Amino acid sequence: MKRICHISAICLVGLMTACGGVGNIGNTGSGSNPGGTKPGGGSDSSPHFSPTGSLVRAQFMHSSTLLPDGRVLIVCGSPGAADYPTVDVEIFDLSTHTFRSLPMDLRTFCTATLLRSGMVLVAGGQTANYPQTFTNTAELFDPTTGLFQTTGSMTVPRTGHTATLLADGKVLIAGGWNNDGITQTAEIYDPATGTFLRTGDMVAARWGHTATLLANGKVLVTGGRSQPGGDAEALTTAELYDPGSGTFSPTGSLMIARSGHTATLLPSGQVFFVGGVAGPTDDNLSVQIDPTTEIYDPSAGRFSYAGKMISPRIQQTATLLTNGTVLIVGGWTTDQNGDYHTTASAEIYDPVTSSFSPAGSLAMSRGLHSAVALADGTVLITGGTYAEPPGTPFVLNTAEIFK
């Protein structure tokens, strides 16, 4: 395999300097673009991707949160330019298929969590890239006013962390990194008091992991990396957070180490894992993108093989559809020559048959994008990065809807 460059969470602050840098807020990128808007040239009634309104500003690694009124809050992304002065927070309105920007202080690579009140907790992240400036501050977005307001601060600054809404309405913040390195600390945000309080530490320090609320109220934390930089090995370890005791404990291990993967809670209560890489991802090292997927069974506390994707990919999105299947979209992959690029392909995983089927192609290949299921059952895909070898990656402002 040829040498490749992987956009990892920590590599992002350097904006792919090893690959020549991410293009400045390009709309479409360069090079040829595979795919179309409908799978197999099907009719309008067949599942397909359709372009919709464009983001106000191109961005990647952002978070998309479905609001109670059906709109989507887009926050925490980066436009990709090293000297960017602002980052747009945006609202998508399905009724008009348009995006509009909202005022907010600079904050990238943070987390956004919908609370029971309908407000959105935005926590941590970075307020600058050069030098890296991590923050412990948090804000609440009120959809009724369209404004952000400050709330309590986290006990430590962090980015690359996870934020998980618990069954009692509180939020578990776990892991990530800051100037002191990778952390295994965790804390709880209480919306009733607007404060963060430390809870038990994770078994392992990690960033780039996933955290999934299970039906039993516990949180499954998996994979990620325990060292900074793209040359660190990914983890196979997993652990469970028990809100009752405030402690983490080990559970079964992933079949392969994963970082940059997705975790999707299925209607069965099991968790479906897709993508990610196990090895180092610096420019002078090779990395294998594994197409295998796996399932975690909470009743047995172990992971098992769930089949191979049609296309191996990392930094994709995986969205649960209303019929219980999972839509897997885009990401980064390698071609037959070993060249690393974004993909326009999409596929659907059926947990009943444990099978994968093609789901057409995006109009624009992309990775590090965001996907969110909308109130009408469609899926909104926004932003991300686009790259076709040997061109320079571009950050996208385009958006599409799968239906």
pLDDT tens, position by position, 180-223 = 999 999 999 999 999 999 999 999 999 999 999 999 999 999 99
Whether domain 11-402 has CATH 2.120.10.80: the reply is: yes
Q: What is the largest CA-CA distance in the chain?
A: 55
| Residue 244 DSSP SS3 | coil
pLDDT value for 184: 96
Q: Give 380 or 43, the one with higher predicted confidence.
A: 380
Tell me the β-bridge partners of 133.
128
- Read off the pLDDT of residues 392-401 as tens digits, 9 standing for 90 and up: 789 999 999 9
Whether residue 342 contacts residue 378, with contact meaning beta carbons closer than 8 Å, is answered with: no
- Dist. CA 63–CA 76, nearest whole Å: 6
Share of the chain above pLDDT 70, in %: 82
pLDDT value for 87: 66
Whether residue 173 contacts residue 219, with contact meaning beta carbons closer than 8 Å, is answered with: no
Question: Residues 264, 298, 308, CA angle at the centre, nearest 5°?
Answer: 45
pLDDT value for 227: 83
Confidence of residue 14 (pLDDT cuts 50, 70, 90): very low
pLDDT of residue 319 exceeding 50: yes
In the chain, domain spans:
11-402
| Residue 283 DSSP SS3 | coil
pLDDT value for 64: 98
- Dist. CA 234–CA 209, nearest whole Å: 9
- Read off the pLDDT of residues 272-311 as tens digits, 9 standing for 90 and up: 999 987 655 444 334 568 899 999 999 999 999 999 999 9
pLDDT value for 31: 33
Residue 102 CB neighbour total at 10 angstroms: 16
Number of H helices, E strands in the chain: 0, 36
pLDDT value for 336: 74
| Residue 168 DSSP SS3 | coil
pLDDT of residue 28 exceeding 60: no
- Dist. CA 330–CA 338, nearest whole Å: 17
Burial 140-164 (b: 16+ CB within 10 A, else e): bbebeeeebeebbebbbbbbbbbbb
- Read off the pLDDT of residues 77-129 as tens digits, 9 standing for 90 and up: 998 765 454 567 999 999 999 999 998 888 899 999 999 999 999 999 998 76
The phi, psi pair for 13, rounded to 5°, reads -70, -20
Of 256, 181, 185, 260, give the one whose Cα is nearest residue 226: 181
pLDDT value for 278: 66
Mean pLDDT (the chain, rounded): 86
| Residue 192 DSSP SS3 | coil
- Read off the pLDDT of residues 165-178 as tens digits, 9 standing for 90 and up: 999 999 999 999 99
pLDDT value for 330: 97
pLDDT value for 284: 38
